[in-house]
Amino acid sequence: MHGYSQHSASAHGLTPWHGTTIIGVKRGDRTVIAGDGQVSMGNTVMKPNARKVRRLGEGGPEKGKVIAGFAGATADAFTLFERLERKLEQYRGQLMRAAVELAKDWRTDKYLRNLEALMIVADKDVLLVITGNGDVLEPEGGIAAIGSGGNYALSAAKALADYEDDPEKIARKAMKVAADICVFTNDNVTVETVTP
């Protein structure tokens, strides 16, 4: 389950690196997910301040202990967020179990199979990438990135990880690098953090 690959999203028929940048960084007992705010349609910026990173289950028993970010179609991502929240309720806040069950549904359900999004999710214990191909990946080194600027952010974060221990600083600096390079990523960054 360890490792991180772009292949799974491509194999599922998604356009995996389009329209946003999301990064997750886990260091010790802190995990951060950061995302930019740009929504693009073709070469046009439709909205500069979208929130693509959010807390899940704020009204439920988990009270925001899980954070998530998405790359892909917004309506599809919110459908997946809602499904993940239901799975978290069903499995009493066990993120790994909820993520595996969501990935199974995503891969096999006729409706969900057509959703075009990738997700990075985290709680106090794990950082995961969930794909529509049925993959639940725990990235090597505690760093994952998705979206059009994902490779830039991932590279920057991996380089920074040797010199910086604060996951928020790593995520913010990596997002800055991605925004400077990727035309589909801006510097209007949303950050959510989970700690024990």
Report the CATH number that the domain containing residue 173 is assigned in CATH: 3.60.20.10
All residues at 6 or more sequence positions from 194 whose CB lies less than 8 Å from its CB, including other chains = 30, 31, 65, 66, 67, 122, 123, 124
113 in any annotated domain: yes
Token reading at 86: 């239901």
Residue-by-residue pLDDT tens, the chain, 196 positions = 343 333 343 444 444 434 689 999 999 989 999 999 887 777 788 787 888 899 986 655 556 789 999 988 777 888 888 889 999 999 998 999 999 999 888 888 777 777 777 899 999 999 999 987 888 999 989 999 999 899 999 999 999 999 999 999 999 999 999 999 998 888 989 999 998 8
How many domains does one find in the chain?
1
Measured CA angle at 27 (ends 106, 194), to 5 deg: 60
Q: Residue 166: count other Cβ atoms within 10 Å of its Cβ.
A: 15
pTM score of the predicted model: 0.85
**Residue 66: what pLDDT?**
93
2 in any annotated domain: no
CA 143 – CA 138 distance, rounded (Å)? 9
- The domain of 17 spans 7-194
122 in any annotated domain: yes
12 in any annotated domain: yes
Enzyme catalytic residues: 20
**Residue 19: what pLDDT?**
67
1 in any annotated domain: no
